[in-house]
Amino acid sequence: MKNKRMTMTELANLIGVSQATVSRAINQPEKVKPEVREKIQYFIDKYKFIPNENAKTMRGVGSKILGFIVFSFSNYYYLDMIKYAEKAAREKGYSLLVMNSEKNAEFELDHIKMMLARNVEGILIAPVDEQNLDFLETTNVPFVALNEDFPGHNYVTTSLVEGGEIACQHLIDQGHKNIGYIGGDHKKYNPKLDGVKKKLKEYNLNFKSDFFIKVNTVTLSEEDIELVLKQRKLPCTAYVASNDEVACLFMKKINEFGYKIPEDIALVGFDNTIVSKLLNITSITQPTEAMVKAGIEMVLNKENIKKTLQLSPGIEIRSSSLK
């Protein structure tokens, strides 16, 4: 059987001071005499005492914990977000509780409820389902959506339309006229694809229906791309992928079908993760660290006014798109 966790009262009795003095030594050390503080710290270290954060919360003291629910641990982009979020939270004096929705709306809602039960002071979320954001609005916990724009909710994102434009402009500059897109079929809103189409229109270039290779980015698999390649010859000389993971699988499969990158087909990814760096794939860069920092500032501000922020992307040019 594990040893019972020592309480602050038990520690105080052991030292010979009041429980309030121990509490002040931990939370407001400047209000405790140095010699008393040193004695308390000695016993804290000796008995490996850990303050009960739940008890602090019940007394009206904030948990100093922020929650972060990410879309997927398998996508390196979200791992970068976690890294920056943990750093930014720590600098603000907060710990970060991270959960993975696994691209599943039900898991996402379960994680939200678990975080609320843990009394987190704010939630950052790279969301799967907008209905879960609607649920969060019914709570009194501030939250912000990251990497997606959801009108009516707090969000911080990169301008994905601008990212699509930048990717397309680069390919046009390389002499391509038939430029396609590989990604999910979001019927209501597909900003990266909208950006590609917008830029093509500026040059009086068409985006035909068969230029769009539709893949399920939630259950992404090689079979999605392979099925398209078996059905028809690729009509474009260049493609923009919705993220680096999609770009990687596309590159792998078209090589198996005899296409070469960039000789036959130019390719641009999205997010500039380690995947694009290792495979020399040109990729749209996002100001991920700035996005996460802005999101944390937003939830800690705890204002009732809805706030939105859209940052500008860039591009890292590599061999996959150069002639």
pLDDT at 171: 98
pLDDT at 1: 33
pLDDT at 308: 86
pLDDT at 54: 53
pLDDT at 220: 73
Token output for 97: 């509780």
| Torsion sign (Cα): 118, 123, 129, 132 | positive
Instruction: List, for the chain, all residue ranges whose pLDDT scores fall below the cut of 50.
Output: 1-3, 57-60
pLDDT at 60: 46
| Torsion sign (Cα): 71, 72, 78, 83 | positive
- Please write the tens of the pLDDT for every residue from 239-261: 999 999 999 999 999 999 989 99
Q: Where are the beta strands (DSSP E) in the chain?
A: 65-70, 95-100, 122-125, 143-146, 155-158, 179-183, 212-214, 238-241, 266-270, 282-285, 308-311, 314-316
HSE (side-chain half, CA atoms, 13 Å) at 245: 17
- Please write the tens of the pLDDT for every residue from 206-220: 999 999 998 877 777
pLDDT at 19: 85
pLDDT at 237: 96
